Amino acid sequence: MQMNHDYKKLQFIIHRGSHQIGGNCVEVATPNTRIVIDCGLPLDYDDQDSDIQEKIHEDAKGWLDHCDAVFLSHYHGDHYGLLSDAPKGTKVYTSKETAELMKVSGIFGEDLAEHLDIQVMDGIVAVKDFRVTSYPVDHSAYGACAFLLEVADKSILYSGDIRLHGKKGVLYKNLPQNVDYLFLEGTNIGRGAKQRTETDMENEFIKQFDETPDSVHLVWCSSQNIDRIVALYRACKRTGRALCVDPYAAYVLELAHKAHITIPTAKTHANLLIFYPHRLTSKMMEKDPELIFGPYVKKRKLDVKLLQSHPGKYVMLFRPSLLYYAKTYLNEVKVCLTNSIWAQYWEQDKPDINHMKEWLKEKPELRKKLSDIHTSGHANVPSLQTIAEHVQPKHIVPIHSDHSDSFSSLFPTISVMEVMDEVQYSMTAPAIWRSTKSFEDLEIGFYLTDVSPDLSGVPATMFVAFRNPGFSPRILLSTDGRADDVYKGKTVSVSLDKVPTVIEGDESLIPDKVIEKAKNWVAVNYNLLMDNWNYKLDSREFLNNIKKV
């Protein structure tokens, strides 16, 4: 089969994310067009030395320089956190919800809405060689989406962060099917399979609030986890409590409300109040006084005296940076603390979190009541398999996972690529070929098994593989099925340089004429191997073919 020159050089690079959770950055390119999908901060960024942090930013500048467009899947720092390193005016396409939430970036850092040319996706976007379509998906970030990239007759689906157990989990059924490549996140591979739903979260909050009617509840939850805040708000309403949020969270809810008017805000919902921690309030005043002194503020401001006299009437959205407010106003009231965040945040060595731990040591009665009401923003293994079963991709590319090596066993009927960061991969050749391939990148391997006498000494199994030092060969051609399934004995691996040489094994086990004929057969059928992933033929057919060379 002759490859079409128009898309022969279609390729991708995972700049970061092939073997780690967070910090995603993927580039898909043709000779005429460069698309970047997400560009996030590594989750361990704050733990790195300043020189490493500087390199992270320098790398991002290189990835983002001269790209034709960035597509942002959602507003989480490990996906957008390095977009400030993009050249001013870089086009960034995203959902309307994410576009609204990006306006909050200016409160604590550079205003991305001013630095970038943010475009709300509405239908299909054409960027030179590519057509890109967004698909809403369920995740703990409001407005998260997947992207379908189409170029010539190739299709690439980037899942972004995704789950099926949220309020909108059914959205995965709208994802396109029969794509060539599925970039699939795998955050929860290697973790527990059971996951609770957001409805479960709401019911657990209700149960907890009912059991402690005389206590104010502090709930540590991300201000951008809109689904969780809605669940918390609904639980408050059903138990006769008011939900109290700081001005930053109130602003986030206002922005989310602009995208969907059903989202509760202090302006539109009577039992949602605002409390004003001094440091945060001062910071937001510097940005825009209207954020603090809006027309609805006096009506919705939390009365601290009522909080102290009737603590059981209130629930407060909380995080460690607001601890000073709790110490100032809640020392004399009964308090319950609930984690509604990823458990590993507790393990971070940050001043705010360390202060929170010290505070809990001083309050043993509070530590005893510490509870966890949380569910992941990412799909578990059965859900990932459901997504793959629906999409039916030709190839899966693991991403956003520290267990990428497990994908092959979890998706046994689909070709799973073994990928590394900063390696260039062709998307027109079999999945494991780099665009910098050469004839010397190939090797022939012979798995020595029981040989029938009529095969004249030819091994029962042979494979042709891509050779990448330090990694196991990936099969391009195998006889009698997949070589790793039928392997029963020794292996001899032979390079395909001008003069065949044994890389591994006993050269005497394979007749020279077989090696030479096999090498010649591969040379003649080079395009066949390039165009067909895991091309198979049986031993007898292979023997007949190499005799003709």
Task: Say yes or no: 346 and 422 in one domain.
Answer: no
Task: Say yes or no: 213 and 100 in one domain.
Answer: no
CA–chain centroid gap for 546, Å, is: 45
Residue 335 lies in a domain: yes
Which residue in this structure is represented by tokens 């100032």? 328
Task: Say yes or no: 148 and 230 in one domain.
Answer: no
pLDDT digits (tens, 9 = 90+) for 493-504: 444 343 434 444
Q: Is residue 462 very low, low, confident or very high in pLDDT (cuts 50, 70, 90)?
A: very low
Residue 399 lies in a domain: yes
Task: Say yes or no: 160 and 107 in one domain.
Answer: yes
The pLDDT assigned to 492 comes to: 42
Q: How much is the pTM?
A: 0.76
Task: Say yes or no: 396 and 315 in one domain.
Answer: no
| φ/ψ of residue 211, rounded to 5 | -75, -15
Residue 431 lies in a domain: no
Separation of alpha carbons 317 and 274, rounded Å: 10
Residue 318 lies in a domain: yes
Higher pLDDT among residues 449 and 123, named by residue: 123
Pairing of strands 145-151, 335-339: unpaired
Q: Interior CA angle at 524 toward 523 and 530, to 5°?
A: 70
Residue 121 lies in a domain: yes
Residue 432 lies in a domain: no
Q: Provide the mean pLDDT of the chain.
A: 79
Higher pLDDT among residues 9 and 89, named by residue: 89
The pLDDT assigned to 93 comes to: 98
Separation of alpha carbons 493 and 446, rounded Å: 6
For residue 17, the enclosing domain spans 9-192+378-426
> Can you tell me the mean pLDDT for 196-214?
94
Helix, strand, coil proportions of the chain in percent (round to 5)? 40, 20, 40
The pLDDT assigned to 191 comes to: 83
Count: domains in the chain: 3
The answer to whether 367 and 357 have CB atoms below 8 angstroms apart is no
Which residue in this structure is represented by tokens 């191997």? 529
CATH, residue 108: 3.60.15.10
Task: Say yes or no: 212 and 319 in one domain.
Answer: yes
CATH, residue 211: 3.40.50.10710
Q: Which residues pair with 93 in a beta bridge?
A: 71, 119
